[in-house]
């Protein structure tokens, strides 16, 4: 029996919702520098598929990796963790 592969999940903030069924999510993470042992902030933007256009700018969302939907979209919005005020 094959073991199911776990899909990558990330939590980020929606920075753009101008496209139809697509949002841009900014994910920040802390990385420890090998030599100086200082934590550095790393940022990455991901285009995520939002089927119902439910998320807005400032919302904190959970995205999950999926098979490619378009040239740039390889993530889906699974849930809105926190709504923007």
Q: Hey, what long-range contacts does 2-9 have (CB within 8 A, 24 or more apart)?
A: 7/64, 7/65, 7/66, 8/64, 8/65, 9/62, 9/63, 9/64, 9/65, 9/78
Q: What is the pLDDT of residue 1?
A: 63
State how many domains the chain has: 1
Q: Is residue 3 part of a domain?
A: no
> Which pLDDT tens digit goes with each residue over 20-76?
999 999 999 999 999 999 999 999 999 999 999 999 999 999 999 999 999 999 999
Q: What are the start-end ranges of the E strands in the chain? A: 9-16, 22-32, 39-49, 60-65, 75-82
**17: domain CATH number?**
2.40.50.140
pLDDT > 90? residue 2:
no
Domain membership of residue 28 as a residue range: 9-82
Whole-prediction pTM value?
0.87
Q: Is residue 35 part of a domain?
A: yes
CB 26 within 8 A of CB 57: no
């Amino acid at each position: 029996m094959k073991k199911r592969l776990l899909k990558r999940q990330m939590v980020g903030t929606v920075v753009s919702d101008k496209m139809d069924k697509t949002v841009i999510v900014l994910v920040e993470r802390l990385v420890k520098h090998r030599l100086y042992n200082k934590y550095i902030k790393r940022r990455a933007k991901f285009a995520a598929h939002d089927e119902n256009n439910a998320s807005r700018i400032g919302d904190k969302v959970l995205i999950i990796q999926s098979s490619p939907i378009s040239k740039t979209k390889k993530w889906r919005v699974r849930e809105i963790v926190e709504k923007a005020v």
